[in-house]
Structure 1
Amino acid sequence: MEPSDCHRELTPASHPSQISEVSMVLEGSNDVLSSGGESDLKEQEEDTELDSLELHGTLSDSVDREGQRPDMHMEVQRDEGLGEHALGDGNTSCDSGTASIDDARSPPAVHDKSEGGTRNEVEESSPSVLNGTDDISSTHMFNGPTDLNRTPLTLTTPDVVSVPQNSQSNSNMNPYDTDCSRKLLSEIQRSLSQESLLDELEDELLNSQSDGMRKGSPPNGLQKDQNSMVLFEKCVQYKYSQQEKAIKRLLDENKKHQELILGICSEKDNMRDELKKRMETEKQHLCTIKKFESRLEELMKELKDSRDKLVHQDQAAKNAIQQLQREMTYRLEQANKKYEEARQEKETMVMKYVRGEKEALDLRREKEQLEKKLREATSEVDKQARRGNTLAQEKGRLQQLYDAKENEVTRLSRELEKVKEEINSHVIKVKWAQNKLKSETDAHKETKDRLRETTAKLTQAKEETEQIRKNCQDMIRTYQESEEIKSNELDAKLRETKGELEKQKQEQTDQLEMHKAKIKELEDLKRTFKEGIDELTTLRTKVKCLEDERPRWEDELCKYREIINRQKAEIQKQREKLTAITTLEEQHQRDDQEIASLREEVENLNSQITDLQRDIEGSRTREAELLGFTEKVTSKNAQLQSESNSLQAQLDRLNSTSRELHSKLEETERTLSETVRCLLKEEKQRQEEVLALQTERTTLQTETSQLKTRVEELRDDLVTQKRKQAANIKDLTKQLTQARKKLEQVENGGCDREGSSMGSRSSSSGSLNARGSSMDDRSPENQSGSSVVVVDSFPEVDKAVLVDRIVRLQKAHARKNEKIEFMEDHIKQLVEEIRKKTKIIQSYVLREESGALSSEASDFNKAHLSRRGGIMASLYTSHPADSGLTLDLSLEINRKLQAVLEDTLLKNITLKENLQTLGSEIERLIKQQRVPDDIAGRK
């Protein structure tokens, strides 16, 4: 055959008459192939001339009917010149049926133009099968028909380079895109494009075969004329252009479907985010409610304690008032009795004085007789007076001793009261600490249970994600293995076709075999298309299910809103309870004020009693003066002796009471020592707990630092691996371009030498895994010529090895990402636990009283100061220990202490604000450091 027969005319038929004529020619050629045999070859060669004449006649008739178009072949060449420029030299083989099966699976790839021109590329990003997460393969389209013999399914350099770029762009543009959705959409896209193309080819083949069966075919099985081949090529090109348009239309529809599915996924993710936010807000509300409840319980406990204290204080005050009233009544009765006795004695003394005067008158008469006796009596009176003075001095001394003992007794009673108050305060503090410990342990148990539940849920979610990933990876592997099996089968079929071509050297037999292979491929592709349609239906059902679940989610949201409203109502009730508690506290303050007023009344009564006692003492002094003038010395001696006896009895009583008080003091000191020991033990336990928490915190900090270093190392490893992969991909793309250029040169050279040679076509299917040797780029002049090309031998690499290596790298990358995410989540949980524990410790320290956390040395120092006396002793005791401590001085001391306290509070507030600003700046710097690290990791 001539070389001109091997050129393809790329013009679509513009009239149905031409299509009918071309179909007639195809029917004749198919009939020849089906009916011809080896025995009738000679007879068929004799009849070829008659058949060619008949074909010329039919063509001329068709040209006249179409409206005077005799030079159709020239017009076709003018119209389709660009297509020949895009395909290199234009000297391609005519056997379009022997291309690889990969040509039918995807649109043809773009080849480099030899003599200038523009490259028309339409990149349609679709998820790749090789990459399980974000790799996207690009399908290149032509504007116009192309050569079927020169379009193997091979990834060119822009294809391979565009895979990570498209993956990054898609991941940045649409964060809701998932692996499963991309895989399904890519399979649907491929199946639709393949099905449309193969259906049309199958229809054309069936039509041509049916027409050939109706009409007769030449006996030799050869075509009648070159014009019939030209018309056949035109028809094929026209069908190919229509198929390209249909593929574009189907791709547009697939894009729309993909956008719809992505929108649905985004809506679903938005709904999930909203649900998560609502759940978080609900958890926060529950936490606040629990805090309020705990606070309410604490306030109720404090109220109960305060009420009990008030009741005890009221009872004590009432008892004290009753005792005071009883004492007052008893003392008043005694005073009245003494007053009556004194009055009676006064009357008797007056009577005695009158009698004495009478006797004096009588005795004056006997004065001279009794002068000697009076002198002796006066001397005796002087002696008795001296003795009375000594007795009075002794009485004063004993009175002073009695007063000192009374002061000591009062001081000891006050100290006893103080000790009792301190013991009660310590007991209350111990009880409060025990209750607080119980509440904290209960809360800690509840938090542990919640942590266990959350960890179980997390493990379940992780297991589900791992199962989904494993299923996806298994699908990818099965799909890759099926493709590799198909490619191997196709390579075997191509080799068989090569052997048959070399033996028979007939183009028509090769075309028949290629048609059969394409029919088989069509059947396989129909199956894949049906599977894609089934997957589409499943996706639609899933979308419907999600739409059906949407009202249920809305109902759940309404329920959660109702729950939130209920919680708000409960919070309002609790606030009302708080107001009631505040009112009760105000009542408590009022009761305290009333108690203070009652105490003031008691003090006034005491002052009145002292005044009465002073009056009684004054009356007694007056009576004593009158008695001194009138009573006899003997009565004074008897009275003094009786008074001394009473004083001795009182001293004995005071000694017994002092002994009892000493015994009580010893007992109280023992109880105090025991309580101090218990408090010391509890303080030691608290300190040990604090130290344990600090050690846990340090360990957690070290673990977090180690994990951070590990994460940084993993990120560096990822960056290095990505760089290595990029370098490997660049090397592979270079090798693929070189191999493709070699194959093109070999094919071009083979067409120049032999029109029917098919040697360069077998390497098109395995061009993806070929490693070509380095070749210099050829100029357009050298490429246009038909010079002899020296082909370097390059080793073939197995495609399965590359795919397995890529899959392994992807698995390792996914595992490292999962580890990094898990470690980050673990770090966050540990930091949150540390913060909670610090908050608990801070709240515990703040709730404690100022003196509860003080050391023993400070307590001993306070006790020492209180014993020494002075102003500071009055601060640490319940009663004023210094007479110089006036009200004005105490107010000045309080003002100064208030000023110091305000200064310390301001300093603490400023320090807290500074710490908060430092924390915010540290977080900002950490985020700024993470952003370039993330960008570098992505690159």
Structure 2
Amino acid sequence: MKASHRDALLRKHLKYLQKKYGTNLRFNFNNLKENDRLILLQPIKNLCIPMKDPFILQQHRILHHNNDLEISSDCENQFFFMIKTLYSMFKERNYQLLSCSNANQVLQYSSSSEDKKLRLTVDSRNKSHENDILSNSNVFNLYLCYFHLLKNYDFLENIKEELLKKLEESEQIRRESIYSNEMKFCKICSVLKDELQTLKEKYNNISKNYTISQMEKERSVMNYATGEKRLLEAQKSIKLVEKKHQEALKENAGLQKKLQRAEHDISKLATEMNSKCSEIMQLRNQIERHRDSDNAKEMKLKWAQNRLKIITDAQEESQAKLNECLAKNTELKNQCEFLQSQVNDKIKMVNKTDENKVTILDQQLKEQQARLIMERHVIEDAENTRIKLQKEYDILLDRQRIADKENHLLISQIHSLQREFTECKTEVNFLRASLEREKEKVQTLESQLSQMETLNKHLETKEQRLCALEVELKRLQLEKADFQADIEALRQREIQMLDFTQKLTDKNVQLQCNFTNIQSKYHILENSQHPLEQRIKKCMEDIASLEQNLSREKIKRSEECNVLAKYIAELTLYNQTLLYQLEDLEGEKYILRKRYELAIREMNREVYLRRTKTENNKSLPDASSSENCANCEESALKESHSQNSSLNEIGNAKMYDVLDKENLYKQLIKLQKINAKRAERIDFLEEHSHALLKELQKKTKIIQNYGIPCDINTNHGKF
């Protein structure tokens, strides 16, 4: 039935009711839909009558008992208004007309879907209007027929037969009273003709409405088929979404495993990085030590070269002095030979001369003897000088031999130092190559770390996608629930449609009622969806707050990790500094021990020399010859010179002559005290280094056991 035609019919009935009863009733035709739901208004109080059960309105009282519904009114003028409201209610509640009695003004309706009955009664307090209502029973019947003809075509045909019977009866009555009431009957005939025309028009309209209802039925069948198709498509989409959800869950599990592996690899790489850094630091320290040792060896080489230069210069000077002494010795030897030759010549000359010249010769002999004595003294002095020079020459030769030995030793030391230098160079080159390799490894590890960071970012993006997919999955689950609810409703409707195929005529009205029920359910679902949407909004707000809290916690945890990393780096640096201090102290200890041993050896040698000197001084008499004293002094000088050449830290030979026994003992006591203090210091430093190593080991164990494997929360709590 078209909306415009229906509105025109309703307006006609309203005009008739307003003319007859003067009721101020009007309809709001703007909200009319295809399911014939009307919103009825009462303009007197501006109240809207809702289509719900039970409800209370002024001058209308509706009571909903267990199985019956009773509606009563206090005014006869609003009887038709109540009928309209009941008709709209009957459409929603699936009621059907059982009986109608106009005399008692009672309507009884029953529902096909529910075992309920409805009874309408009108209490007519104004008895003056009662006859009017009873006299206008035809209008009432016509009005009821209009509403029931909208529902059932068979029922309309019965009403038509009844109306024709009533028309025939009216015609018979008119024929009997033709003479007395011609004018009245003419008027009545004209009225009846008009009514017949209206009825024919109504019949045509009803037939049209019937065809329209059939078309609507076919449309409803097509809608049902399309709904089933949509349902199947929705089920397929739900299955696809579930498959996607399962795949997403699998991908999430795989990504979580990859994340765990990546975290494990990152921890391994971090440990490897730390170990490589420690190795690099050790290699750098070794290189620095080798550089220091190379510098020290170069200094020793320079010092040995300078000493060699000094020794060679001294050797050249001694050779020059030797040459001068040899030249003087040869000159003296030549002079002695010349004098002997002269003496021999004179002796020969004396033997050849005469005896007369004995006196002269005696005098000359005496003079010559004196000269010879003088020459002997000169020769003795020359021999003494020659002996001294020879001794000096021997001393210089010994010195030269010692210098040659020292030179050979120094050359061997230089060669050994050069070899060590080349070895150190090779070691330095090897260490540089190893350093470059370690740098390359560090670069590769850094690249791996960057790759792992990119993987973590990719995993975070995938997690965000998974969260979005989960949100979509929840939404789809909600849609699935809605679809299932719709499916259940559609199944019920399918059952009703199967019954409808058996009883086409009866189920037409039921389909409309079901449609109205579905719309009411839809509105109920819409009303119930608002709290769900509010809950979803709250859930989204909670999710946003949780994400913010999660980001804050991530930032906190990253800061805590950075703090822990800094703390671990400081501990490692402190450990390395302690190790360097320990190594330096061990080197100092070794050097001090060597110095102490050298000093003790030197002091023992000095004591031994002094003892030998004192024993020699006691054993030898005071009237020893000057030559022996000179020899002793020379031997002492040789020994002291050899000691000075072997021991570089002791002073010259003159200082050893000056020192007494007491000074030597005092120096020994001082050195022993210094060595005892140094030994105590070394022991204290060793104990301190062992204690520091134990503390470092404990801290590293604590960090390994509690810092690295545990969660960040536990780390923060413990540290």
Query: What's the TM-score, normalizing by structure 2?
Result: 0.32
TM-score by length of 1: 0.26
Write 1 or 2 for the structure with the bigger share of strand: 2
In terms of Rg, which structure is larger?
A: 2
